[in-house]
Protein backbone atom coordinates (compact mmCIF):
# COMPACT_ATOMS: atom_id res chain seq x y z
CA UNK A 1 0.00 0.00 0.00
CA UNK A 2 2.83 2.41 0.83
CA UNK A 3 4.57 1.60 -2.45
CA UNK A 4 1.40 2.22 -4.46
CA UNK A 5 0.62 5.49 -2.68
CA UNK A 6 4.17 6.75 -3.13
CA UNK A 7 4.12 5.84 -6.83
CA UNK A 8 0.90 7.79 -7.26
CA UNK A 9 2.38 10.79 -5.46
CA UNK A 10 5.51 10.80 -7.64
CA UNK A 11 3.46 10.43 -10.82
CA UNK A 12 1.30 13.42 -9.92
CA UNK A 13 4.38 15.51 -9.21
CA UNK A 14 5.65 14.69 -12.68
CA UNK A 15 2.33 15.49 -14.34
CA UNK A 16 2.15 18.81 -12.49
CA UNK A 17 5.73 19.75 -13.34
CA UNK A 18 6.39 19.98 -9.61
CA UNK A 19 9.88 19.72 -8.12
CA UNK A 20 9.84 18.93 -4.42
CA UNK A 21 13.47 19.84 -3.90
CA UNK A 22 14.44 17.88 -0.78
CA UNK A 23 13.31 14.27 -1.05
CA UNK A 24 15.04 13.00 2.05
CA UNK A 25 13.36 10.02 3.73
CA UNK A 26 12.13 12.15 6.62
CA UNK A 27 10.09 14.30 4.20
CA UNK A 28 7.82 11.45 3.12
CA UNK A 29 4.98 9.73 4.91
CA UNK A 30 3.60 6.18 4.65
CA UNK A 31 0.22 7.76 3.83
CA UNK A 32 1.57 8.73 0.41
CA UNK A 33 2.08 12.38 1.32
CA UNK A 34 5.17 14.55 1.43
CA UNK A 35 6.07 17.75 3.24
CA UNK A 36 8.89 20.28 3.82
CA UNK A 37 8.47 22.29 0.62
CA UNK A 38 11.03 24.97 1.42
CA UNK A 39 12.88 25.09 -1.92
CA UNK A 40 10.13 23.74 -4.18
CA UNK A 41 9.57 24.95 -7.74
CA UNK A 42 7.15 24.42 -10.60
CA UNK A 43 8.85 23.84 -13.93
CA UNK A 44 9.06 26.81 -16.27
CA UNK A 45 9.45 24.28 -19.11
CA UNK A 46 10.25 20.61 -19.51
CA UNK A 47 13.74 20.00 -18.15
CA UNK A 48 14.58 16.66 -16.46
CA UNK A 49 17.69 18.24 -14.92
CA UNK A 50 15.84 21.18 -13.31
CA UNK A 51 16.59 21.47 -9.58
CA UNK A 52 14.72 23.44 -6.94
CA UNK A 53 17.20 23.56 -4.06
CA UNK A 54 20.23 25.82 -4.36
CA UNK A 55 22.30 23.26 -2.43
CA UNK A 56 21.43 20.36 -4.77
CA UNK A 57 24.51 20.89 -6.91
CA UNK A 58 24.60 17.29 -8.17
CA UNK A 59 20.95 17.14 -9.19
CA UNK A 60 20.12 14.37 -6.73
CA UNK A 61 16.52 15.56 -6.47
CA UNK A 62 16.13 17.03 -9.95
CA UNK A 63 12.75 16.85 -11.67
CA UNK A 64 13.60 13.79 -13.73
CA UNK A 65 15.12 11.87 -10.81
CA UNK A 66 12.17 12.23 -8.44
CA UNK A 67 10.72 8.75 -9.08
CA UNK A 68 14.18 7.29 -8.50
CA UNK A 69 14.47 9.19 -5.21
CA UNK A 70 11.05 8.00 -4.04
CA UNK A 71 11.96 4.41 -4.91
CA UNK A 72 15.21 4.70 -2.95
CA UNK A 73 13.25 6.02 0.04
CA UNK A 74 10.93 3.01 -0.17
CA UNK A 75 13.93 0.71 -0.24
CA UNK A 76 15.19 2.40 2.93
CA UNK A 77 11.82 1.87 4.61
CA UNK A 78 11.89 -1.76 3.50
CA UNK A 79 15.33 -2.15 5.02
CA UNK A 80 14.04 -0.88 8.35
CA UNK A 81 11.01 -3.17 8.25
CA UNK A 82 13.20 -6.18 7.44
CA UNK A 83 14.23 -6.20 11.09
CA UNK A 84 10.71 -7.26 12.06
CA UNK A 85 9.39 -9.34 9.14
CA UNK A 86 10.39 -11.63 6.27
CA UNK A 87 12.31 -10.04 3.41
CA UNK A 88 10.51 -11.70 0.51
CA UNK A 89 7.18 -9.82 0.74
CA UNK A 90 9.06 -6.54 1.18
CA UNK A 91 11.06 -7.18 -1.98
CA UNK A 92 7.87 -8.12 -3.83
CA UNK A 93 6.24 -4.87 -2.78
CA UNK A 94 9.29 -2.83 -3.79
CA UNK A 95 9.48 -4.55 -7.17
CA UNK A 96 5.93 -3.43 -7.93
CA UNK A 97 6.92 0.25 -7.89
CA UNK A 98 8.04 0.72 -11.52
CA UNK A 99 4.89 -0.76 -13.05
CA UNK A 100 2.56 1.02 -10.64
CA UNK A 101 4.37 4.30 -11.23
CA UNK A 102 4.10 3.99 -15.02
CA UNK A 103 0.38 3.30 -14.75
CA UNK A 104 -0.16 6.25 -12.41
CA UNK A 105 1.85 8.53 -14.69
CA UNK A 106 -0.24 7.57 -17.70
CA UNK A 107 -3.43 8.24 -15.76
CA UNK A 108 -2.16 11.55 -14.40
CA UNK A 109 -1.10 12.82 -17.84
CA UNK A 110 -4.37 11.77 -19.47
CA UNK A 111 -6.23 13.58 -16.68
CA UNK A 112 -4.11 16.70 -17.20
CA UNK A 113 -4.87 16.61 -20.91
CA UNK A 114 -8.58 16.05 -20.26
CA UNK A 115 -8.68 12.91 -22.40
CA UNK A 116 -10.32 9.52 -21.94
CA UNK A 117 -8.21 6.39 -21.81
CA UNK A 118 -8.08 4.42 -25.03
CA UNK A 119 -6.09 1.46 -23.79
CA UNK A 120 -2.58 0.82 -22.59
CA UNK A 121 -0.74 1.05 -25.91
CA UNK A 122 -2.48 4.18 -27.12
CA UNK A 123 -2.22 5.99 -23.79
CA UNK A 124 1.47 5.11 -23.47
CA UNK A 125 2.17 6.40 -26.97
CA UNK A 126 0.27 9.63 -26.30
CA UNK A 127 2.04 10.27 -22.99
CA UNK A 128 5.44 9.62 -24.58
CA UNK A 129 4.53 11.94 -27.45
CA UNK A 130 3.51 14.65 -24.99
CA UNK A 131 6.82 14.50 -23.13
CA UNK A 132 8.73 14.48 -26.41
CA UNK A 133 6.76 17.45 -27.73
CA UNK A 134 7.39 19.35 -24.51
CA UNK A 135 11.11 18.70 -24.91
CA UNK A 136 11.16 19.74 -28.56
CA UNK A 137 8.96 22.80 -28.12
CA UNK A 138 11.85 25.08 -27.20
CA UNK A 139 12.13 27.70 -24.45
CA UNK A 140 8.90 29.46 -25.40
CA UNK A 141 6.81 26.40 -24.57
CA UNK A 142 6.18 26.55 -20.84
CA UNK A 143 4.91 23.54 -18.94
CA UNK A 144 1.52 24.74 -17.75
CA UNK A 145 0.45 26.51 -20.97
CA UNK A 146 1.01 23.28 -22.94
CA UNK A 147 -1.59 21.39 -20.92
CA UNK A 148 -3.87 24.41 -20.91
CA UNK A 149 -3.75 24.81 -24.68
CA UNK A 150 -4.45 21.13 -25.36
CA UNK A 151 -7.00 20.52 -22.63
CA UNK A 152 -9.70 18.12 -23.84
CA UNK A 153 -7.70 17.66 -27.03
CA UNK A 154 -9.17 20.75 -28.69
CA UNK A 155 -6.71 21.23 -31.56
CA UNK A 156 -8.63 24.19 -32.96
CA UNK A 157 -8.25 26.05 -29.69
CA UNK A 158 -4.56 25.20 -29.42
CA UNK A 159 -3.89 26.27 -32.98
CA UNK A 160 -5.68 29.59 -32.43
CA UNK A 161 -3.62 30.47 -29.37
CA UNK A 162 -0.33 32.29 -28.84
CA UNK A 163 1.77 29.11 -29.26
CA UNK A 164 0.18 27.96 -32.51
CA UNK A 165 3.41 28.31 -34.48
CA UNK A 166 5.13 25.89 -32.09
CA UNK A 167 2.35 23.32 -32.37
CA UNK A 168 2.35 23.56 -36.16
CA UNK A 169 5.94 22.29 -36.26
CA UNK A 170 7.05 18.79 -37.18
CA UNK A 171 7.95 18.06 -33.54
CA UNK A 172 4.24 18.06 -32.71
CA UNK A 173 3.01 15.98 -35.65
CA UNK A 174 2.82 12.70 -33.76
CA UNK A 175 1.27 14.31 -30.72
CA UNK A 176 -1.41 16.03 -32.82
CA UNK A 177 -2.17 12.73 -34.56
CA UNK A 178 -2.61 10.79 -31.32
CA UNK A 179 -4.67 13.53 -29.68
CA UNK A 180 -6.99 13.51 -32.69
CA UNK A 181 -7.62 9.81 -32.12
CA UNK A 182 -8.52 10.29 -28.45
CA UNK A 183 -11.93 11.23 -27.03
CA UNK A 184 -12.17 14.24 -24.70
CA UNK A 185 -13.27 13.81 -21.11
CA UNK A 186 -16.09 16.21 -20.20
CA UNK A 187 -15.33 18.72 -22.98
CA UNK A 188 -18.08 20.97 -21.66
CA UNK A 189 -15.49 22.21 -19.16
CA UNK A 190 -14.03 24.30 -21.97
CA UNK A 191 -17.16 26.45 -21.82
CA UNK A 192 -15.92 27.92 -18.55
CA UNK A 193 -14.75 31.55 -19.03
CA UNK A 194 -11.36 30.58 -17.61
CA UNK A 195 -10.48 28.89 -20.90
CA UNK A 196 -11.11 32.07 -22.88
CA UNK A 197 -7.88 33.62 -21.64
CA UNK A 198 -4.76 33.17 -23.79
CA UNK A 199 -2.73 32.20 -20.70
CA UNK A 200 -3.42 29.91 -17.73
CA UNK A 201 -2.66 30.38 -14.08
CA UNK A 202 0.94 29.45 -13.22
CA UNK A 203 3.00 29.53 -10.05
CA UNK A 204 6.58 30.11 -11.15
CA UNK A 205 9.22 31.30 -8.73
CA UNK A 206 9.31 34.93 -9.92
CA UNK A 207 5.63 35.36 -9.09
CA UNK A 208 6.00 33.60 -5.74
CA UNK A 209 8.87 35.91 -4.79
CA UNK A 210 6.92 38.98 -5.89
CA UNK A 211 3.98 37.94 -3.71
CA UNK A 212 6.30 37.40 -0.76
CA UNK A 213 8.10 40.71 -1.33
CA UNK A 214 4.84 42.59 -0.97
CA UNK A 215 4.23 40.90 2.37
CA UNK A 216 7.80 41.28 3.65
CA UNK A 217 8.18 44.91 2.60
CA UNK A 218 4.72 46.36 3.28
CA UNK A 219 2.69 43.66 5.02
CA UNK A 220 0.57 43.71 1.86
CA UNK A 221 -1.34 40.44 1.59
CA UNK A 222 -3.42 41.61 -1.37
CA UNK A 223 -1.39 39.80 -4.08
CA UNK A 224 -1.40 36.62 -1.98
CA UNK A 225 -5.17 36.54 -1.60
CA UNK A 226 -5.63 37.51 -5.25
CA UNK A 227 -3.48 34.56 -6.30
CA UNK A 228 -5.44 32.16 -4.10
CA UNK A 229 -8.65 33.40 -5.72
CA UNK A 230 -7.18 32.96 -9.20
CA UNK A 231 -6.07 29.40 -8.40
CA UNK A 232 -9.57 28.63 -7.11
CA UNK A 233 -10.99 29.91 -10.41
CA UNK A 234 -8.73 27.51 -12.27
CA UNK A 235 -9.63 24.62 -9.99
CA UNK A 236 -13.31 25.23 -10.61
CA UNK A 237 -12.79 25.41 -14.37
CA UNK A 238 -10.94 22.09 -14.43
CA UNK A 239 -13.64 20.58 -12.15
CA UNK A 240 -11.05 19.11 -9.83
CA UNK A 241 -12.07 17.54 -6.53
Active-site annotation, residues:
26
Contacts of 68 (CB under 8 A, 6+ apart): none
- Report the alpha-carbon distance of residue 59 to residue 48 in Å, rounded: 10
Q: Determine the distance from the C-alpha atom of residue 91 to the mean position of all C-alpha atoms in its chain, rounded to a whole number.
A: 28
Whole-angstrom Cα Rg for the chain: 19
Q: At what angle do helices 2-16 and 87-95 cross, to 10 degrees?
A: 20
- Report the alpha-carbon distance of residue 147 to residue 166 in Å, rounded: 14
Q: Determine the distance from the C-alpha atom of residue 99 to the mean position of all C-alpha atoms in its chain, rounded to a whole number.
A: 18
CA angle (43, 49, 54) in 5-degree steps: 75
Amino acid sequence: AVTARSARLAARWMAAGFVHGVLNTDNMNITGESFDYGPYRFLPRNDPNFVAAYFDQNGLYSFGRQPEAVYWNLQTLGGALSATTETEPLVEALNSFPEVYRGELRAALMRRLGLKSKGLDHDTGLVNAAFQALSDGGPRLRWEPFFYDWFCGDEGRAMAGPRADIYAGAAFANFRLLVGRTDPDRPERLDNPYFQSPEPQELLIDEIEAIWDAIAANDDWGPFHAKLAAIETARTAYALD
